[in-house]
């Protein structure tokens, strides 16, 4: 009689499978590794010698990378898995569904961590930006951003009807945030109406927290409001993710 695989073993196996699939997918590897480097290279050339602008770009792209690796990735993947019937068939296998989802989420977290490391190293070695001044605060905000955008990505997947429309839905949320939230410029210099809108966006507060920790050496207490807002967005995402989750495809295969 075959011995049942424990939950953690199932989750770990799924995570390892997701990592192998990630590295075997050239598109995924490009967006996970080369895109952050490309953006840093472009803006590093544009802002060469302008240390203040470079100090804005590095934490901005770090925040954008966290959102891309979690929110964007999970919204795409869960929509595809649901509509192809994979989630439905999974429920008929011995693997616990929660272990499968944990492996999927773990892969997104690993990608976020990888991109954050790439941005920090490239910022220091290529652009000359100092190492993060408060590693603990940076890690806490990065973790809060991962949790927040993971739940929001799962929640958005429920609203996407099919894989073909996923890019439109995801970009409708992703692109305005990276343009408004101060990823590529100092948000304090934006018009007042843009700043007001930005304050309602979770990415704004992730970038503010990362910037404070990485550039200014500011602790969590200085940006406690940003941490709270990330937590509230994460809570909203968790509620929507749980209430709206569906294992069934919306259309017949």
Task: Please state, in angstroms and rounded to a whole number, the distance separating the CA atoms of residues 199 and 197.
Answer: 5
Note the pLDDT of residue 2.
46
Q: How far is CA 235 from CA 89, 145, 184, 213, in A?
A: 29, 12, 27, 23
pLDDT of residue 119: 92
Residues 163, 175, 168: CA angle, nearest 5 degrees: 25
Per-residue pLDDT tens for 99-124? 888 998 999 999 999 999 999 998 99
Check residues 5 and 98 and name the one with the higher pLDDT.
98
Place of tokens 């699939």: 21
pLDDT, position 4: 64
Q: Alpha helix locations (H) across the chain?
A: 7-23, 26-29, 35-46, 51-67, 73-83, 86-90, 97-125, 135-159, 166-180, 192-198, 202-211, 224-244
CA of 123: how far to CAs of 15, 29, 80, 181, in Å? 29, 20, 34, 20
Contact criterion met (CB below 8 Å) for 43 and 184: yes
pLDDT for 151-208, tens place per residue? 999 999 999 999 999 999 999 999 999 999 988 888 778 889 989 999 999 999 999 9
- Whether the per-residue pLDDT at 81 is higher than 80: the answer is yes
């Amino acid at each position: 009689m075959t011995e049942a695989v424990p939950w953690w073993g199932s989750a770990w196996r799924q995570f390892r499978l997701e990592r192998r699939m990630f590295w075997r997918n050239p598109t995924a590897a490009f967006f996970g590794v080369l895109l952050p480097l490309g953006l840093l290279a472009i803006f590093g050339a544009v802002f060469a010698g302008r240390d203040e602008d470079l100090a804005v770009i590095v934490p901005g792209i770090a925040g954008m990378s966290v959102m891309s690796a979690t929110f964007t990735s999970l919204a795409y993947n869960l929509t595809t898995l649901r509509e192809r019937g994979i989630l439905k068939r999974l429920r008929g296998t011995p693997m616990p569904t929660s272990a499968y989802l944990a492996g999927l989420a773990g892969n997104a977290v690993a990608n976020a961590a990888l991109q954050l490391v790439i941005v920090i190293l490239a910022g220091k070695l290529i652009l000359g930006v100092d190492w993060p001044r408060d590693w603990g605060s940076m890690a806490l905000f990065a973790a809060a951003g991962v949790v927040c955008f993971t739940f929001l990505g799962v929640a958005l997947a429920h609203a996407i009807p099919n894989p073909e429309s996923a890019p439109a839905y995801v970009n409708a949320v992703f692109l305005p945030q990276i343009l408004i939230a101060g990823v590529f410029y100092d948000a304090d210099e934006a018009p007042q109406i843009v700043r007001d809108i930005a304050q309602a966006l979770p990415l704004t507060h992730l970038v503010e927290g990362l910037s404070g920790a990485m550039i200014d050496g500011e602790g969590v207490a200085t940006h406690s409001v940003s941490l709270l807002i990330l937590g509230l967005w994460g809570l909203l995402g968790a509620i929507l993710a749980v209430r709206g989750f569906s294992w069934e495809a919306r259309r017949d295969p």
